[in-house]
Amino acid sequence: MGLRFTVLASGSGGNATLVECDGFGLLIDAGLGPRQFAARLTAAGTSWASIHALLLTHTHTDHWNDSTLAHLLRRRVPVYCHPGHHRVLETWSHNFASLEAAQLVRDYEAQSDFILTPGLRCKALPVSHDSGVTFGFRLEALPDLFGHSCAVGYVADLGCWDGKLVEALVDVDLLALEFNHDVRMECASGRTAALIARVLGDQGHLSNDQAAALLREVLRRSRPGRLRHLVQLHLSRDCNDPSLAASAARAVLDAHACTGQVHTARQDKVCTTIDLGAPPRKPRAPRRTATRSRAAPEGPTQAWLPGFGDD
């Protein structure tokens, strides 16, 4: 069973990603208003009618929008979040309590698998960020009739990483990973010392170099050729450049002979939809034919052509 993956918006102005599995539409975060959502969904070739659940990473306000929570309530769309998110949402949202009363809030636990819909399994991955409990996710589609399955890793807001997170991201077909800032640009940005220290800290955001190191370790532990797509998330508007982020990622992929594509998500534009169908087949060895005692043909032969704040 395949997955379709579309970043609708990524950055400190609002975050939202659409994952589709066999007719089931899942939003990861909802940092846009309902009308802006509608426009982005239309650009992605779908609509609100195709949204069946929201999965929340954390409670910084670039990852949830109260008007959108009200819209989800009207549409009876459940919201998956961690129990540690409740207090903030109950305090600052006018609609979260109504979602709870309507039994539309579904809790997940750290490091536990849960089923979003038959055929789609999720695991919540704790990450280090200054928003209280914060999570990335590993999403896996169940195998199809031919035994093919696919997996997505999603980690958007984190200041550091460890081996446990790497292991959770091994052997994914698509890795969506934060490449927030270039350290030199961050330090020369003219921002306050407190904001710079926050972004660079272990509970802040990953730099291009930190993300590249995480990618390198994931590739080192994964099966060769498994990673097909890298999606770069949450680039800073002021302290990064898409070419710098892409270059840092491409250098790692090339060093591991990985031909995966690099996609850099944007704040103001829907990213290209990535369709994760069956994994590419390994090329078959050429079939051997019985040799006959005759001269080989002369002449050449033709080879086969192959959020918080301004982060």
Per-domain boundaries in the chain = 3-275
Identify the burial level of 236 via C-beta atoms within 10 angstroms of its C-beta, where 0-12 means exposed, 13-18 middle and 19 or more buried: buried
Distance between CA 270 and CA 42 in Å, rounded? Answer: 10
- Rounded CA-CA distance 120/140 in Å is 6
Contact 183, 216 (CB under 8 A): no
User: How far, in Å, CA of 2 to CA of 139, rounded?
Assistant: 11
- Phi and psi, residue 189, nearest 5°: -75, -20
pLDDT in tens, 192-238: 999 999 999 999 999 999 999 999 999 999 999 999 999 999 999 99
Domain 3-275: what homologous superfamily?
Ribonuclease Z/Hydroxyacylglutathione hydrolase-like (3.60.15.10)
DSSP assignment letter at 282: P
- Decide: pTM greater than 0.85: yes
Q: Which residues pair with 53 in a beta bridge?
A: 26
Kindly give, in sequence order, each residue whose CB lies less than 8 Å from that of residue 243, ignoring residues fewer than 6 positions away.
none
Strands (E) in the chain, as ranges, are 3-9, 16-21, 24-28, 53-55, 79-81, 105-107, 113-117, 120-127, 134-141, 150-155, 174-178, 229-233, 261-264, 274-276
Of the pLDDT bands very low, low, confident and very high (cuts 50, 70, 90), residue 244 is very high
**Per-residue model confidence as pLDDT tens digits over 50-93:** 999 999 999 999 999 999 999 999 999 999 999 999 999 999 99
Instruction: Tell me what pLDDT residue 311 has.
Output: 64
* Structure confidence at residue 305 as a pLDDT band (50, 70, 90): very low
pLDDT at 117 over 90: yes
93 or 302: which leads in pLDDT: 93
Burial code (b: 16+ CB inside 10 Å, e: under 16) for 192-228 equals eeeebebbbeebbbbbbebbbebbbbbbeebeeebbb
pLDDT in tens, 141-190: 988 777 778 999 999 999 999 999 999 999 999 999 999 999 999 999 99
The C-alpha atoms of residue 44 and residue 107 are separated, in whole angstroms, by 28
Q: DSSP class of residue 175?
A: E
